[in-house]
């Protein structure tokens, strides 16, 4: 298996439709966060990491392997 390296997608401004969908599907707060530049988003995540110590996920197995819902 080979992992192909491709040029990064250019940073683009997503449409208002995209952010409206996000507010509907994930909440206003997340949509507002998503509008921030990447560095700002990462800064916020770092703040969470420094101030909270919560489990990443309550499932023992990673969701990509087991779906996380039915497995303890």
Partner 1 sequence: MSTPLEFLKIFAGQLQQAEIPFAITSGMACVHYGLQQITKDSDWIIPAEDLGRLRELFTRLEGDLPPWRISYRQICGAPLEAEFMAHGWTSHLSVWDSAGSVEHKVDIFSKPPRVRSEELQMDAEGWASRHIVAQMKRTDRDKDWPIVHGLGQQLSEHQRPEGLLHLAELNALLAAWKAATQQEREQMTARRPLLRMLADRSEIDPLYFERRILLERLIWERVNEQRHTRYTRPWRRFYRSWRQELDWEWPSSEAFTAQHQRLLGAARGYGLPPDPLADTPKEALVETAVAAVCQVAAAAKQEVAEVLPPVYELLP
Residues of the shown chain interacting with partner 1 in the complex, contacts defined by CB under 8 A: 1-9, 12, 14-15, 17-18, 21-22, 25-26, 30, 33-34, 38, 41-42, 44-46, 48-50, 53, 56-57, 60-71
Distance of closest approach, residue 40 Cβ to partner 1, in angstroms: 10
Distance of closest approach, residue 38 Cβ to partner 1, in angstroms: 7
Distance of closest approach, residue 10 Cβ to partner 1, in angstroms: 8
User: In angstroms, rounded to a whole number, what is the distance separating the alpha carbons of residues 61 and 59?
Assistant: 6
Q: Does residue 66 sit in helix, strand or coil?
A: helix
14-28 burial, b at 16+ Cβ within 10 Å, e below that, comes to eeeeebeebeeeeee
């Amino acid at each position: 298996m080979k992992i192909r390296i491709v040029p990064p997608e250019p940073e683009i401004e997503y449409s208002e439709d995209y952010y409206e969908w996000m507010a509907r599907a994930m909440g206003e707060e997340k949509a507002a966060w998503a509008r921030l530049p990447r560095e700002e988003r990462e800064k916020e995540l770092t703040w969470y990491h420094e101030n909270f110590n919560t489990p990443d996920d309550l499932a023992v197995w990673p969701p990509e392997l087991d779906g996380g819902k039915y497995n303890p």
